[in-house]
Copies of this chain bind each other. A is one copy, B any other.
Amino acid sequence: MQRTLISETAKKTGEKVELFGWIDSIRDHGKITFIDLRDATGIVQCVGEALDKVSVESVVSISGTVVERPENLINPNLETGKFEIKIEKMEIVSRAAELPIPIGGDGADIDEGLRLKYRYLDLRRPRMAKNLRLRSKVTTFIRNWLTKKDFVEIETPILTKTTPEGARDFIVPSRLQPGNFYALPQSPQQYKQLLMVAGFEKYFQIARCFRDEDPRADRAYGEFSQLDLEMSFVEQEDILRLTEDLFSDLVAEVFPEKKISSSPWPRISHKEAKEKYGSDRPDLRKDKNDKDELAFAWIVDFPLFTEQSKEDFYHGSGASRWAPSHHMFTAPRPEDIALLDKDPGKVRGLQHDLVLNGYEVGGGSVRIHDAEIQKKVFDLIGFSEKQKEEFAHMLTAFKYGVPPHGGIAPGLDRFLMVVLGESSVRETIAYPMTAGGTTAVMDAPSEATPDQLKELGITVRGK
């Protein structure tokens, strides 16, 4: 007999079905036993007599007949509440021991370390399963929306070169060149700009990015996903409008219960944001208690440079007082180019930050596409000749016909955190790391073997 999904049982009243799933709950009334059976499509009540003893969360198969419930036993809260399965046979496929964490409720009272250790159980929690399903809906929607607009999705490398983009790199020792290291990309920034040089004009990717920064509620440790996109022959206005259209359509389709506070989204200069709201990511919701309100806003006209601080992981920080406010590929406003020589602190960049309910959920810019201006920026942020050498490929690429280009990179985890009303990005990720950098379920990082270290030409200090 073929498996019937629980979502299909409603159409099968009077028919024999075979269901597979997990035992969501059991009510043993002596002779008669009620079982709520759960699969990926729903929950249905099953009733049987003289059943084998079975524990909650065991996997079973149940053969039986779909019968209508008497009027007084209908459960209006359940999609399948008008009927039940009269069990003819139940087989235990995989018995469940007592669970180490409860999976009912929202899990907020359970130690997060335990939730991550048993993530495969934690993801049975309806809230978590729903979050991941919505995440998949969001990426599907984004991909199809951009594909319809002729964007090409292109995968860029994970094993790449260390580049001073503002955060700490993860590095990977090379076996073929012992003593040398790859770096994991902080973003595909250079690769996507080079795709513009290659002539693709419209690129996107749901890209994995890696930053060895201390975690926060709105930042997962180690890796995160961003919608990375870039366009050629565009001005800042085009990027803002495309992003606004994309997210407005996304919210309407995937989160129809949400209301966007104001459209078009407010555009606020960095200066005004600081003066009026004391923040460059102001929370513009009209009613902060409204869980369905989404207040998007653009922050624009950032200064191109900020003063370097000792906390900056900005590698070029020796010879100059300037660090890039966004990153070193951001173009200055054309009318401010003359100020690069005279008063760099006054130069405004063509940067745009996407803000949602007080969170920065994305940033981007129009990029420099002129080698001379790029060189000038490298000088202003104090790059040594050696550091310039590390970006020589960008200056070289700029010699062979470069279109004006720009883009944006909304963070997927953080956007989902805000729109789902979660308190941490980890509630939107299948297997996030703990705050201490330990992987979910598996016990990493862990020791490497002496053979591995030898092949890679490295040793662990103190061993």
Residues of B within 8 A of A384 (CB): none
Residue A260 interfacial (CB < 8 Å) = no
Please pick, from B20, B139, B431, the residue contacting A233 in the complex, using a CB distance under 8 A: B20
Instruction: Determine whether the beta carbon of B121 is less than 8 Å from that of A400.
Output: yes
Question: Are the CB atoms of B95 and A401 closer together than 8 Å?
Answer: yes
Task: Please encode chain A, from 63 to 80, with 1 for each CB lying within 8 Å of some chain B CB and 0 for all others.
Answer: 000000000000000000
Question: Which residues of chain B have C-beta atoms less than 8 A from A340's C-beta?
Answer: none
Instruction: Give which listed residue, B94, B178, B183, B452, contacts A401 with CB less than 8 A.
Output: B94
Nearest residue (CB) in B for A193 is: B120
CA distance A422 to B432 in the complex (A): 38
From A168-176, A299-307, A321-329, the one touching the partner chain is A168-176
- Contact assessment for A161 and B439 in the assembled complex, using a CB-CB cutoff below 8 Å: yes
Chain B CB within 10 Å, residue with most, of A161, A178, A195, A444: A444
Q: Is the CB of B181 within 8 A of A447?
A: yes
Specify how many copies of this chain sit in the oligomer: 2
Report how far A441 CA is from B198 CA in the complex, Å.
12
Given contacts A194-B120, A457-B461, A168 and B157 within 8 Å (CB-CB): no
Q: Are B161 and A442 in contact (CB-based, < 8 A)? A: yes
Q: By the criterion CB–CB under 8 Å, are B155 and A147 in contact?
A: no
Q: Is A162 a contact partner of B446 (Cβ separation < 8 A)?
A: yes
Q: Which residue of B lies closest to A152 (CB)?
A: B136
* Total contacting residues, chain A, CB less than 8 A: 121
Within 8 A of B (CB), among A394-422: 397-404
Q: How far is the CA of A197 from the CA of B96 in the complex (A)?
A: 11
A residues at B contact (CB < 8 Å): 3, 20, 22-23, 38-41, 57-59, 93-97, 99, 119-121, 123-124, 129, 132-133, 135-136, 139-140, 143-144, 147, 150, 152-163, 168-184, 190-191, 194-195, 197-202, 206, 208, 210, 212, 222-223, 225, 232-233, 369-370, 390, 393, 397-404, 429-433, 436-448, 452, 455-463
**10 other contacts beyond A124-B198, A177-B445, A180-B446, with CB at 8 A cut-off?**
A39-B201, A120-B195, A121-B198, A123-B200, A136-B147, A161-B444, A161-B445, A170-B182, A171-B452, A182-B439
Q: Would you give 28 A-B contacts (Cβ < 8 Å), ordered by A?
A: A40-B202, A93-B404, A94-B398, A94-B401, A95-B401, A96-B401, A99-B400, A119-B194, A120-B400, A129-B198, A133-B152, A135-B154, A140-B147, A157-B431, A157-B432, A157-B439, A159-B222, A160-B444, A161-B442, A161-B446, A163-B442, A170-B172, A171-B448, A172-B184, A179-B462, A180-B448, A459-B459, A459-B461
